[in-house]
């Protein structure tokens, strides 16, 4: 008798690369990919978190140290992943962030250096991650780029970041058209506020961080912030054949903030 509680294994034997897969949303995506049968590589800048994440993923994924703002690192990462697993079925372009120079504060205070740093991490790196992946992607592969609610809803202190993510959303359509001859689908997963280690980077006490999460979560219809695993489930859909007729689209997974 069929066990209807078992995983569908929608990504069985699929090869995936997940940038920024060693923490936060990227790690949540990697965990769901493992549960659905995928293998591949997670990429990140910190060897310690790469090692701990690989161990937690039951060694179905390898860790590759990579700074996505450096084109040589990207080329080496994809070459290593293909050498280990073969051509890629799925690329998750997740590395980025709204924490750091140039993200917090009024646009009038952003310096040129701040601007360049946030654009390098959240915009330039996305373009060249996809470009450098092309020789290593199978025809018919799925590319999922991680956007943000900030692409649509102006958020205090995130003007530069939001602008970068808005461009990424546009690229889902442009890239899909450019790559249509190879049947490569490009889509966007745009999270709202997600419970990730980013909260710890604020350097505020745990109880205050918990209150902040509650306040932010109360602004949506679900009345809580999201989980990395929930973003992982959306990424599984976009990466799998379940979304074979979905191309150049965006899923805003924000608990009901943007549209309400």
Model confidence pLDDT, tens digit, residues 82-116: 999 999 999 999 999 876 655 666 788 888 988 99
Does residue 77 have a pLDDT over 80? yes
Specify the pLDDT at position 239.
98
Does residue 170 have a pLDDT over 60? yes
Other CB atoms within a 10 A radius of the CB of residue 170 amount to 15
Residue among 61, 85, 161, 199 flagged as catalytic: 161
- More confident site: 33 or 197: 33
Categorize the per-residue pLDDT at 198 as very low, low, confident or very high, splitting at 50, 70 and 90.
Answer: low
Residues 6+ apart with CB under 8 A from 121: 68, 69, 95, 96, 97, 100
The mean pLDDT value for 116-127 works out to 95
Fold for the domain defined by 15-191+226-252: Rossmann fold (3.40.50)
Specify the pLDDT at position 206.
63
- The position carrying tokens 């946030």 is 118
144: three-class secondary structure by DSSP: strand
Longest dimension (CA), the chain: 64
18: three-class secondary structure by DSSP: strand
Distance CA 37, CA 8 (A): 9
Q: What is the mean pLDDT of the chain?
A: 89
Specify the pLDDT at position 228.
95
Specify the pLDDT at position 155.
78
**Would you say 55 and 64 are in contact if contact means Cβ atoms under 8 Å apart?**
no
- Dump strand ranges (E) for 147-244: 185-191
Does residue 199 have a pLDDT over 80? no
Residue 225, token pair as written in the block? 């912030």
**Nearest CA-CA partner of 99 in 199, 245, 186:** 199
Torsion sign (Cα): 206, 208, 212, 213: positive
Specify the pLDDT at position 220.
85
**Nearest CA-CA partner of 186 in 118, 131, 106:** 131
**258 an active-site residue?**
no
Distance CA 117, CA 101 (A): 7
Instruction: Give the residue extent of every domain in the chain.
Output: 15-191+226-252
């Amino acid at each position: 008798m069929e066990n209807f509680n078992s995983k569908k294994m929608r990504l069985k034997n699929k090869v995936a690369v997940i940038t920024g897969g060693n923490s936060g949303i990227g790690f949540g995506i990697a965990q769901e990919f493992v549960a659905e049968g995928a293998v591949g590589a997670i990429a990140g800048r910190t060897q310690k978190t790469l090692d701990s994440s690989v161990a937690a993923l039951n060694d179905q994924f390898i860790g590759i140290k990579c700074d996505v703002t450096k084109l040589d690192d990207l080329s080496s990462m994809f070459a290593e992943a293909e050498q280990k697993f073969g051509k890629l079925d799925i690329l998750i372009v997740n590395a980025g962030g709204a924490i750091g120079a140039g993200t917090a504060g009024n646009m009038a205070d952003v310096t040129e250096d701040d601007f360049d740093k946030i654009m390098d991490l959240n915009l330039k790196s996305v373009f060249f991650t996809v470009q450098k992946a092309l020789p290593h992607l199978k025809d018919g592969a799925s590319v999922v780029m991680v956007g943000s609610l900030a692409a649509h809803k102006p958020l205090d202190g995130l003007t530069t970041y939001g602008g970068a993510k808005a461009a990424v959303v546009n690229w889902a359509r442009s890239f899909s058209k450019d790559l249509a001859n190879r049947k490569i689908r490009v889509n966007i997963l745009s999270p709202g506020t997600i419970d990730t280690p980013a909260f710890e980077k604020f350097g505020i006490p745990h109880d205050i961080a918990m209150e902040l999460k509650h306040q932010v979560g109360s602004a949506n219809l679900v009345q809580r912030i999201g989980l990395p695993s929930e973003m992982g489930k959306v990424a599984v859909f976009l990466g799998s054949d379940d979304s074979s007729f979905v191309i150049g689209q965006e899923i805003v997974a924000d608990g009901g903030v943007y549209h309400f």
